[in-house]
Amino acid sequence: MRKMTALVTLATLTLASLMIVPGTATPQQGNTQAVEEIKRRYEYREKILLARDFAALERFYPADHIVTNPYNRLVDKTFVMERIRADVISYASFERHFDLFRIYGDSAVVVGSEKVVPATDAKRPDAGQTIRRRFTEVWVRREGMWQVVARHASNIASSN
């Protein structure tokens, strides 16, 4: 419980540090180099996730990675990696669209949508079905490398 409380505190502090206060930091929307670097990291994550490259995924996600998943649960890197290894997080395809990149020096906020299809043999009730989501992620550049430290994803309800 202490670890989860620490992660929530870290996420709150990270997000609070990105808030725009008049007269302080403003987003650098024109920082195309940072945007392109982060997009390449997205492509790399997709590649290693689809390939189920556990060692690369362990290196990709930083120790302080947290996610508010589509089931409204706050989870950490350990939980995410357990779900990947257990074939719960197992995808056949990804399609991602970016709506917004905001660069704040060595921090970034990315907002977008994605369409994912869990593998047909994934150990989850929606295996093989198309899922549409909205996401917001916080990225931090550490030692020259962009890392995703916080993610929030919400499933978009299908309209019938």
pTM for this entry? 0.80
User: Which own/partner contact pairs does 26-32 have at CB distance under 8 Å and 24+ positions apart?
Assistant: 27/102, 27/103, 27/104, 28/102, 28/103, 28/104, 28/105, 29/101, 29/102, 29/103, 31/103
CATH number for position 124: 3.10.450.50
| 92 inside domain | yes
116: containing domain: 2-18+28-155
- Read off the pLDDT of residues 101-134 as tens digits, 9 standing for 90 and up: 999 999 999 999 999 999 999 999 999 999 999 9
Does the residue 101 lie in any domain? yes
Give domain status of residue 65, yes or no: yes
**CA 48 to mean position of chain CA atoms:** 14
Residue 160 lies in a domain: no
Q: Tell me if 95 is assigned to some domain.
A: yes
Band of residue 157 on the pLDDT scale cut at 50, 70, 90:
confident
139 in a structural domain: yes
Instruction: Give the chain's domain count.
Output: 1
- Rounded to whole angstroms, the Cα distance separating 152 from 160 reads 25
